Amino acid sequence: MVEPYLSKQWFVKMTPLAEASLRNQASDKKVEFIPERFNTLNSPEFSKSARIISDKTTVMVMMGSMGFGTAATSIVKQLGKLPEDIQIIATPSTDSDVHALISTHCTNMSDVINRKERTAIIGGIIGMTDDAAIAEAQGLNNRLVSFCCDNPIKVNLISGKTETLSGAMLGVMLAAMESAMSPNTPLTFKQLNVLGFTKTRNVTNITSLIKAGIMVCNSNPENLSEYICIRALTTFQGDDLINNERSMVREDLFMNRDLRAQFRPVIGTAGISTNAAIKTLKDRAVEWALNGYIVPTDDNQNVWDIKVRIDGDKVFITYSRYLTAPVNFVFITAINHIYTSTVEL
């Protein structure tokens, strides 16, 4: 993958540039956007402060800070203009109000009306205390949102100088990495392209942050010269692996989007039979299992407890599945014995 270079933020007065762009789009010299859905990115609300990095599978949007004059209503409008297939949101902003708006947006987009499942990775300021980070993570309490507070050290490729990045910029870096990974691949234990961190954490400190729902990135406790994402968690406050682990949340959201896409052609038709709905589900479940998103049961069922209910113009489908859990721990127990031998002649 190509890692985007993270540098100091330049704040430019965008209104004149945006107005010129919008005037151009109204002329015969307008720019054609492919795919067509990206025409929404040239809207008055969106083009004034949003920046986008995209790849073949996901789009990461980095929003401006409310502290630089972007009103809450404007940020809400910008979030509302995002194309449907945007799956990860990250921001260099350390503003807790911006974080709260993004968290609420991710929650709202996952309901049965919006159906545009998204996650976010956000972070704090340079020098953020652990207590402040824990308080923000606990306040977010969202299975769709992760929070970073560690400050990585990188070399500015333009100036050649060493710079310290905020937890928010670390979140941008992690979101870029995650966008290049399959949904079931966790960021946990992935190496980071940094020189180090401003604070080297011990196991006790790492454990306390993980328990609070913070995505900890630091030196590997077993090899201090190796810099990794120690645990890729969400801010969900509870002892539930499915909601705590980012990779399991991403698996869930990916399969929900995938299955919904399979049933989209049915909308507006004369209807679908129960058997056809079950077949569609089972066919997709085979692909999910092959890609490692789900674990089959002991009797080799990819999904089970399938129930289809047709009520007028509505079709309700419920089923069970085992999500693939990441390997976070390996416990090895050796049972030792003393060899004895008796030889009789």
Amino acid at position 37, single letter: R
103-115 confidence digits (pLDDT tens): 999 999 888 777 7
Region 312-329: what's the mean pLDDT? 93
Per-residue confidence band for 79, with pLDDT thresholds at 50, 70 and 90: confident
**pTM of full prediction above 0.85:** no
**Cα distances (Å, whole numbers) of residue 172 to 5, 120, 179, 336:** 10, 10, 11, 48
Per-residue confidence band for 186, with pLDDT thresholds at 50, 70 and 90: very high
Region 200-221: what's the mean pLDDT? 96
Please give the order of strands across the beta sheet that includes 152-155. 162-164, 152-155, 196-197
Q: Which one, of 132, 50, 58, lies nearest residue 98 by Cα?
A: 50
159-181 confidence digits (pLDDT tens): 889 999 999 999 999 998 998 88
pLDDT reported for residue 72: 64
pLDDT reported for residue 268: 87
Q: Dihedral through CA 86, CA 90, CA 93, CA 95, nearest 10?
A: 90
Higher pLDDT, 285 or 271: 285
Region 59-72: what's the mean pLDDT? 49
Q: Which one, of 219, 291, 224, lies nearest residue 255 by Cα?
A: 291
Higher pLDDT, 1 or 288: 288
